[in-house]
Structure 1
Amino acid sequence: MNMSQDKPVAIITGGGTGIGAACSRILSRDGFRVGINYIDPVEEQSRQVLSELEDGFLLKADLSNPDEIETMIAEIREKARRVDVLVNGAGISINKDINSMTLDDFDLQRAIVRGSWYLTKRILRLFMLRKNSGRIINISSVVGHTGNSGQIPYTMEKAALDAFTKSLCKELAGRNILVNSVAPGFIDTPMTQNLPDEVKSRILGSIPLGRLGSPEEIADLVSFLACRASYISGTVIHVNGGLYGG
């Protein structure tokens, strides 16, 4: 028997970059076999993260495409046969004001939260093979609560993930499947590194701790929810240096 098939399995969407990559690394250290979901533009980075893991595999799929999600589910069944933790970490941000935003832009943003919903729906069946146990962790954002100029569809997507968390928790009551959101503040990732200096200065001035967070600080909480938390569900946990109290 392949002993890796006895290990718990964590599937991480967007697991090859930023916060997702930090989650892949820490859950691998926690003893999980990690499935890294990625799309074409970040294949190289995803393969690099995979090379750093003790045990893992790649899952190429665009979450905006239900057919690719179905292919991904088939791959999970073939490569892992089980899922114990799902981290919905994939996301995009289209930065335009309401007058510049097009319907196509909006629909592209909306497709990610739809894909997270559909992937979760399909993976729940694999949780149920494990006697109705599992952990679902949605990576949302502080801006889903505070709003942010020029990011209306993005803030709507992140607020939707938190609403999804609370509703799914109630639907899964009694099944030992815990559902939570982690809402990062401003984190030191390529998304924030590319901001103009004056925007960065304004952001730092609004954070009581006076610095950006690190992807590892978000991953630490994901690890806790995946491995140790047993009486937390339906909750949005903010990790933002004091920017927003929740």
Structure 2
Amino acid sequence: MAADLLGYAGKRVVVMGCYSGTGEACARHLVDLGAEVHGADIKPSPVKGLASFTTVDLKDPEAIAAGVASIGGQMDALFNVSGLPQTFPGEDVVTVNFLGIRMWTETWLPQMRSGGAIVSVSSLAGMRYLMRQPLLKQFMELTDFADARSWYVANAEEAGDPYTLSKEALNTWTQQTAPMLMQRNIRINCTMPSPIDTPMLGEFRKVAGSAVLDAFAGAKGRFSTPDEQALPLILLNSDAASFISGTCLAVDAGLSGGLSTGVLDMERMMAGAAAR
């Protein structure tokens, strides 16, 4: 059996969202694994050893195209880790979290090598995506940013929370895209994290409240660390996961499974969190 099971040594990879949190941890580990790591974000990354860093605003289609062109060359793996919480305008949230990530990925696809892989960070907020397919279909059919943003504003009441909508769309797109990409021997997956102990956690607390947010830490008794989310991303894009594509992997210490099977009760967990 090969010593390098993950197989990143010498591979070219891009980490979108490497300024902080999970993306920063992901880029740092990939550098240590011997990959040629190209970073992108709206803010400069602190990660040492990057082959390049490119400033990209995922709300701007021209910036996305320019970012791909600036990095250039063939690529082995994409890591899509950027995202905005609901404290930003709803139309910006759906643009960055889904429209921008989708365009960024699709712009890279012609330069993806056979055997390549793509992974995106979704969220447990999007776990009910299969129940909202008719609405998601309307949203996802809009590829023009301005049209999609206008659709969200016009349908905000039915669409609901923009963060949830964006993650439901990301899950759906991942699974829709997987069979087509497999024809080119390219894999695509996403993860659905429970809350992560990063600066963004405070923004989610403003929206959801402490009782709801703390209940989501109930299965493990604490929030996830950035490393605990970064390493599954690295696994999914590695040679060790060569037969995994089209999956939406919950990285939540068993929370979603417990809720789905009734072993855990969210109302009880929220009450317990509120009482502490």
TM range (shorter): 0.7 to 0.9
Q: What SS does the aligned partner of 1:176 have? A: coil
1:220 Cα shift?
1.0
The percentage of counterpart residues that share the same residue type is 30
1:202 Cα shift?
4.6
Q: CA RMSD in A?
A: 2.2
Provide the C-alpha distance between the structure 1 equivalents of 2:16 and 2:76, rounded to a whole number of angstroms. Answer: 14
Q: What SS does the aligned partner of 2:103 have? A: helix
Q: What SS does the aligned partner of 2:74 have? A: coil
Q: Is residue 86 from structure 1 mapped to residue 55 from structure 2 by the alignment?
A: no
1:10 Cα shift?
1.2
Confirm or deny: 8 A CA contact 2:127 2:192 kept in the other structure.
Answer: no
Confirm or deny: 8 A CA contact 1:208 1:241 kept in the other structure.
Answer: yes
User: Deviation per CA, 1:142-170, whole angstroms, max 9, x where unpaired?
Assistant: 011269xxx70001101111111101102
Matched residue, 2:198: 189
Normalised by the length of structure 1, the TM-score is: 0.80
107, 125, 128: which is aligned to 1:122? 107
82, 106, 111: which is aligned to 2:90? 106
Q: Is residue 237 from structure 1 mapped to residue 249 from structure 2 by the alignment?
A: yes
CA change 1:175–1:121 in 2 (3 A) is: same
Provide the C-alpha distance between the structure 1 equivalents of 2:210 and 2:196, rounded to a whole number of angstroms. Answer: 11
Matched residue, 2:132: none
Normalised by the length of structure 2, the TM-score is: 0.72
Provide the C-alpha distance between the structure 2 equivalents of 1:201 and 1:238, rounded to a whole number of angstroms. Answer: 21
Provide the C-alpha distance between the structure 2 equivalents of 1:95 and 1:217, rounded to a whole number of angstroms. Answer: 25
1:68 Cα shift?
0.7
Matched residue, 1:218: 229
CA change 1:216–1:121 in 2 (3 A) is: same
Provide the C-alpha distance between the structure 2 equivalents of 1:232 and 1:144, rounded to a whole number of angstroms. Answer: 20
1:209 Cα shift?
1.1
Structure 1 segment 163-202 matched on structure 2, within 5 A: 163-193=172-202, 195=205, 199-200=209-210, 202=212
Provide the C-alpha distance between the structure 2 equivalents of 1:71 and 1:244, rounded to a whole number of angstroms. Answer: 38
Confirm or deny: 8 A CA contact 1:76 1:82 kept in the other structure.
Answer: no
| Residue identity matched to 1:178 | R
Structure 1 segment 28-107 matched on structure 2, within 5 A: 28-39=31-42, 42-43=43-44, 46=45, 48-49=46-47, 51=48, 53=49, 55-77=50-72, 81-95=73-87, 105-107=89-91
Number of aligned positions between the proteins: 215
Unmatched tracts of structure 2, length 5 or more:
1-8, 130-159, 261-276
| Residue identity matched to 2:176 | S
CA change 1:73–1:205 in 2 (3 A) is: closer
